[in-house]
Structure 1
Amino acid sequence: MDFLNLFNEIQAADPEFADRISPRRAAIRNITSFGSKVAVAALPFAFSTLFKKAYGQTAIPSVTDVLNFALTAELTEACFYNTAIARNIVPAGTARDAITLIRNDENNHVRFLKDQLKTAISPENAARVTDPILVGNTNAFFDYSGGKSTAGTGPFSSVFTDYDVFLAVAQAFEDTGVRAYKGQAGFLKGNAVVLTAALDIHSVEARHASYLRRLRMLRPSGVPTTFRPWVTQDGTTASGISVAPSVVNLIYQNEANVSQGGKDLTTISGVTVKAATESFDEPLTKEQTLAILSNFVIK
């Protein structure tokens, strides 16, 4: 394999690749100085390590991989809201209007991703797309109780009978979506149309998450006084969800990070841990997102 040519092709597709692997750029520049067969033989391993550092995941997915992954997440959300509307869990008025709008957004995201994939849609997603769950009639593929089964006996078993639980789970899905799109955007840089759409979806998911927090804060049952429309640290602090920590903590893992660009923000005068964590959202990798979704996806 011509590794110099490979690097040039990567650099052409992703102009920031060299910056991603800094401070390893010097090693790349000096590849031609590798004189020994031992060093050349080590190049495949070296490039594997560089990719992991550059993109933070175990492999470089194709655009098709990313779109199928996004479709799985969007189907999970779309079916969730379709089911909620069909079962009348959302009170009439402003709240129902808002949830209906969010539902419509998620359905449109599904339609867009399905159209982009066409025949490249995965068999699993192809089955989910054609199932009646999309209009809220069945739970053939998802268990929104978080129990990973058709029994609906997970920690959120009252999700479609208790409006407060529904809002909490909805927020959890939207927060996951925000971080998941952030984690995958870099892999779409070679496709401007899809990248632009993904970034558009990313910002809409963030608006959904913020509005759902507002709906929760207006509820008589209330949420912790520290609860805000943005993410503060991780776990219960970030979510205001006190049940199912094993599920919730997966959603907000790494959000307690206070370092950006190698700088601990709390060393800046006047910057608290709370402010440092609220100022930046952290991405989720594909593996982290699938671990979250695995609590809700049956097949």
Structure 2
Amino acid sequence: MNLFGIFSQIEKADAEAGDKLDFARRKMLKTATVAAAATPAFFVGMVNKAFAAEGCAGDAVAILKYALTLEYLERDFYRAAQFKAGLLPAGTRAYVVQIAKHEAQHVDLLEGVLGLKKNELQPKYNTGTLNAALADYDTFLTYAQALEDTGVRAYKGQAACLLEEGSATAKVALPVALRIHSVEARHAAAVRHMRGLRVWASSGENGMEADPKVYAHEDMGQQGGADLEGYFNLPENKMKLYTPEMAKRTVYESFDEPLTKDEVLAIAGPFFASMM
């Protein structure tokens, strides 16, 4: 196995590959035997770890702080909507108030896990973006849906990072992140219901007038190497009269794809006075 040749090819594609691979090598050598470190499997694992880390917000503490910043935004977004006169029609206020309470609880939990004082890492917002998002009820719901669906996928993206890290802090952080993740999904469903949409992300029925980046990668027809769209074309399933569009939509609705930190910031970043 010509490792030097492979390293050379990788570095041609990514100028920072050397640093990434060196970090991954040192991390894996902590738990691997000398014999194992000489195998092709070790090399493949090292490369996977090195480049998977690109989507992570950092170590467990950094990931929790990243999550906290997003929770501050969601809490304050719903609070601003709650107190803006004339924004919320009758019958919708209870939803918004309850979601704001949930987001406040998420902030309190993350601050507690991190050992922070209340609002210690409170970010500053771009008031222009925030005011534009609260221009009217329909616009508010559009942005609320974008933030909630982004939040769900952001937590999913970092959960794998925490699982991979495996430190004592990560083992505490992972269940915290997963507990919040499921509630964000409920919020997303509630907002979709308020918009008269399906309560899950659905191809062509997301009602998004704002940002298609929220649903990047969601149209994957394969999961775990299985061609799920192709499943509908099997002879035993053709009698069920699935059209190609129905097959695509069914797969789309059945799975949720993670977002990296950079992808999340491309969506939520405009709300902040400075980037996270």
Could you state the TM-score of these two structures normalised by the residue count of structure 2? 0.73
Question: After superposition, where does 1:24-173 map in structure 2 within 5 Å?
Answer: 31-32=37-38, 49-53=47-51, 55=52, 57=54, 61-88=58-85, 89-93=87-91, 95-118=92-115, 126-128=120-122, 141-143=124-126, 150=127, 152=128, 158-173=132-147
What SS does the aligned partner of 2:115 have?
helix
Post-superposition shift, 1:127? 5.0
Q: Which residue of 2 aligns with 1:259?
A: 222
Q: CA 1:76–1:3 in 2, change beyond 3 Å: closer, same or farther?
A: closer
Report the Cα distance in structure 1 between the residues aligned to 2:37 and 2:107, rounded to whole angstroms: 44
What SS does the aligned partner of 1:294 have?
helix
What SS does the aligned partner of 1:239 have?
coil
Does 2:182 match 1:212? Answer: no
Does 2:148 match 1:174? Answer: yes
Letter in 2 for 1:7: M
Report the Cα distance in structure 1 between the residues aligned to 2:154 and 2:208, rounded to whole angstroms: 20
Post-superposition shift, 1:120? 10
Post-superposition shift, 1:210? 0.3
| Kept after mapping to 2: 8 A contact 1:78/1:107 | yes
What SS does the aligned partner of 1:295 have?
helix
Higher relative contact order (CA 8 A, sep 6+): 2
CA deviations on 1:194-220 (whole Å, 9 max, x unpaired) are: 211211110100000001111111xxx
Does 2:50 match 1:7? Answer: no
| Kept after mapping to 2: 8 A contact 1:185/1:198 | yes
Q: How many residues are aligned here?
A: 233
CA deviations on 1:21-58 (whole Å, 9 max, x unpaired) are: xxxxxxx9753368xxxxxxxx7xx77632145x3635
* Runs of 5+ consecutive residues of structure 1 not aligned to the other structure: 12-27, 35-42, 130-140, 144-149, 218-226
Post-superposition shift, 1:142? 2.1
Report the Cα distance in structure 1 between the residues aligned to 2:39 and 2:144, rounded to whole angstroms: 55
Q: Percent same amino acid at aligned positions?
A: 36
Q: CA 1:238–1:30 in 2, change beyond 3 Å: closer, same or farther?
A: farther
Report the Cα distance in structure 1 between the residues aligned to 2:262 and 2:171, rounded to whole angstroms: 24
Letter in 1 for 2:120: A
| Kept after mapping to 2: 8 A contact 1:185/1:199 | yes
Report the Cα distance in structure 1 between the residues aligned to 2:23 and 2:84, rounded to whole angstroms: 58
Q: CA 1:202–1:117 in 2, change beyond 3 Å: closer, same or farther?
A: same
Post-superposition shift, 1:100? 0.5
Higher helix share: 2
Select 2:202's aligned residue among 229, 232, 238.
232
| Kept after mapping to 2: 8 A contact 1:182/1:284 | yes
| Kept after mapping to 2: 8 A contact 1:172/1:239 | no
Q: What's the RMSD between the two structures over aligned residues?
A: 3.2
Q: Which residue of 2 aligns with 1:134?
A: none
Q: CA 1:158–1:128 in 2, change beyond 3 Å: closer, same or farther?
A: same
Report the Cα distance in structure 1 between the residues aligned to 2:191 and 2:262, rounded to whole angstroms: 26
Report the Cα distance in structure 2 between the residues aligned to 1:183 and 1:2, rounded to whole angstroms: 21
Report the Cα distance in structure 2 between the residues aligned to 1:197 and 1:266, rounded to whole angstroms: 34
What SS does the aligned partner of 1:71 have?
helix
Report the Cα distance in structure 1 between the residues aligned to 2:53 and 2:25, rounded to whole angstroms: 22
CA deviations on 1:210-236 (whole Å, 9 max, x unpaired) are: 01111111xxxxxxxxx4211123xxx
Q: CA 1:126–1:259 in 2, change beyond 3 Å: closer, same or farther?
A: same
Post-superposition shift, 1:193? 3.2
Select 2:172's aligned residue among 183, 189, 193.
193
Report the Cα distance in structure 1 between the residues aligned to 2:138 and 2:83, rounded to whole angstroms: 17
Report the Cα distance in structure 2 between the residues aligned to 1:2 and 1:281, rounded to whole angstroms: 30
Post-superposition shift, 1:164? 1.3
Post-superposition shift, 1:111? 1.2
